[in-house]
């Protein structure tokens, strides 16, 4: 009897959690979009930020875009996307992570694999003249399924640009 009661209690808690997630998704994206959301259609900024958020790829595509040119496989490629610096500003870095030289940025792909950016790449986000972007297009066309729908592009890093395909979210941390 106790086991059945415990099982029903756990089932109820799981149901409540699913309902809360559904309601939060509807509040964030609207009821007409909430049912179509899946992890591949979302991008998030999490971690040591005051306002973590998740937005749909279609909303991200409608934000102000910038272009960066990168040499890949000995040919010039143009990526278009949203400035990571602008996305981090939207999330508002927490007071304890507000110094760029103490930030640690981790790009997490759709498979859940974390790729911690080097300190140089992390600092490039805040460097003048460097445009680190969350790209959704290459040479004027949407990214293909094998590398997208989003990629993190850190141009001008040596020996070549830092590229993280299948980007799902950026997690902000600190080095200390």
Residue 123: what pLDDT? 80
Residue 117: what pLDDT? 84
Cα distance between residue 175 and residue 26, in whole Å: 35
φ, ψ dihedrals at 165, nearest 5°: -75, 165
How many folded domains does the chain comprise?
Answer: 2
Q: Are residues 28 and 42 in the same domain?
A: no
Express each pLDDT in 58-111 by its tens digit: 899 999 999 999 887 788 899 999 999 999 989 988 876 666 677 888 999 998
Q: Are residues 24 and 54 in the same domain?
A: no
3-state helix, strand, coil in the chain (%, to 5): 35, 35, 30
Q: Are residues 118 and 53 in the same domain?
A: yes
Residue 12 pLDDT greater than 60, yes or no: no
Q: Are residues 14 and 67 in the same domain?
A: no
Q: Are residues 49 and 14 in the same domain?
A: no
- Contact in structure between 107 and 164 (CB atoms under 8 Å): yes
Q: Are residues 80 and 5 in the same domain?
A: no
Those residues with Cβ within 8 angstroms of residue 140's Cβ, 6 or more apart along the chain or in another chain: 78, 80
Express each pLDDT in 32-68 by its tens digit: 343 344 567 889 999 989 999 999 998 999 999 999 9
pTM of the full structure: 0.74
Residue 67: what pLDDT? 94
Domain of 83, CATH number, reads: 3.90.420.10
Express each pLDDT in 118-161 by its tens digit: 888 888 787 766 688 999 999 999 988 778 899 999 887 665 56
Return the percentage of the chain with pLDDT > 90, whole number. Answer: 32
Structural domain harbouring 46? 38-174
Pairing of strands 133-138, 75-83: antiparallel
């Amino acid at each position: 009897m106790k086991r059945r009661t415990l099982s029903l209690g756990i089932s109820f808690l799981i149901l409540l959690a699913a309902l809360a997630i559904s309601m939060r998704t509807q509040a964030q994206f609207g009821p007409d979009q909430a049912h179509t959301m899946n992890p591949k259609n979302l991008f998030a900024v999490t971690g040591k930020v005051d306002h973590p958020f998740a937005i749909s790829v279609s909303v991200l595509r409608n934000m102000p875009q910038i272009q960066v040119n990168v040499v890949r496989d000995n040919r010039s490629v143009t990526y278009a996307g949203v400035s990571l610096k602008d996305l981090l500003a939207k999330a508002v870095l927490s007071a304890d992570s507000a110094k760029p030289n103490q930030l640690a940025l981790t790009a997490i792909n759709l498979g859940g694999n974390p790729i911690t950016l080097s300190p140089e790449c992390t600092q490039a986000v805040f460097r003048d003249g460097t445009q680190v972007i969350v790209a959704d297009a290459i040479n004027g066309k949407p990214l293909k399924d094998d590398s997208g729908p989003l990629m993190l592009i850190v141009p001008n890093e040596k020996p070549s640009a830092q590229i993280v395909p299948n980007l799902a979210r950026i997690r902000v941390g600190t080095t200390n």
